[in-house]
Chain A
Amino acid sequence: MCGGHNMIKIIACIVILGASTMAGFIYSERLKYRVFQLNEIERAIYQLQNEITYVHVLLPDAFKNIADKSKEPIKELFNKTSELLAGNEYENVYEAMKASVNLMKSKLYLNTDDINVILDLTKTLGESDIKGQNNMFSLTISNLKKQIKISEEFMNKNIKMYRYLGFSFGAMLVIALL
């Protein structure tokens, strides 16, 4: 075997190893993003509660206001909801929120449980008096807190594992191809 051939082989192995390690790191980042986005949504919902209980803003404007104070991609999620609500295309808040969640699906790293918590809130939003809505808000906040706790535990447990696994599978592939 000539030297150049060997060199290419070594470089290819390093590339495979690097790529799989990076895949592991990128996958573990998703867990961090989920915690971040859940925290952001929790903060946004507190603000929405303030907007509704104390400022008595209309819902599209309330969504717009909390979108202005949130970071991406939660900002875009609430902006879309506000636009859809203002456009009067949907029957109720739930439908509009669902549509905007579907639009933003690729940027949200939340699972179905997390999304259901938010959608449950929007089912009753704007359909009862302030006291009733406050009850729903406190329920949603406690559910969100639960989800945040679960996702943080999941992150701490799995973030290292995904990194090591990425490297290990790359090494496995290299050995199998060698």
Chain B
Amino acid sequence: MLDVSLLFKIGATGILIIIIDKILKSGGKDDIAVVANLAGVILLLMMVINLVNKLFTSVKTLFQF
């Protein structure tokens, strides 16, 4: 079953990353803003990596008769 709470988590993280990016850019720290964005993207990837892994294994089993 699809875990709905994970979707909410991803959404909230996205909003927070946008806020942090805006704060850092308004403070004139554009380079740190880029790093924070990157960290957020990696954080999100780590959240969904299990699902992606599951997808790949199911695709693999689909083609192995």
A residues apposed to B, CB below 8 Å = 157-158, 161, 164-165, 168-169, 171-172, 175-176, 178
Contact (A161, B27) CB under 8 Å given A168-B19, A168-B20, A176-B43? yes
By a CB distance below 8 angstroms, the chain B residues around A171 are 16
Which residues of B1-33 have CB atoms within 8 Å of chain A's CB atoms?
9, 12-13, 16, 19-20, 23-24, 26-29
By a CB distance below 8 angstroms, the chain B residues around A164 are 19, 23
B residues apposed to A, CB below 8 Å = 9, 12-13, 16, 19-20, 23-24, 26-29, 40, 43, 47
Q: In the bound complex, how far is the Cα of B16 from the Cα of A171, in angstroms?
A: 8
Chain A nearest CB from B23 CB (Å) reads 5
Among A157, A158, A164, max chain B CB count under 10 A is at A164
By a CB distance below 8 angstroms, the chain B residues around A172 are 13, 16, 20, 40, 43
A-B pairs with beta carbons under 8 Å apart, 13 shown: A157-B28, A161-B23, A161-B27, A164-B19, A165-B20, A171-B16, A172-B13, A172-B43, A175-B9, A175-B12, A175-B16, A176-B47, A178-B9
Q: In the bound complex, how far is the Cα of B13 from the Cα of A69, in angstroms?
A: 52
By a CB distance below 8 angstroms, the chain A residues around B27 are 157-158, 161
By a CB distance below 8 angstroms, the chain A residues around B12 are 175
By a CB distance below 8 angstroms, the chain B residues around A158 are 27
Q: In the bound complex, how far is the Cα of B40 from the Cα of A158, in angstroms?
A: 22
Q: In the bound complex, how far is the Cα of B16 from the Cα of A26, in angstroms?
A: 22
Q: In the bound complex, how far is the Cα of B15 from the Cα of A159, in angstroms?
A: 22
Among B12, B26, B27, B29, max chain A CB count under 10 A is at B27
With A168-B19, A169-B20, A171-B16 already in contact, 14 other A-B pairs whose C-beta atoms are closer than 8 Å: A158-B27, A161-B23, A161-B24, A164-B19, A164-B23, A165-B20, A168-B20, A168-B23, A172-B16, A172-B20, A172-B40, A172-B43, A176-B43, A176-B47
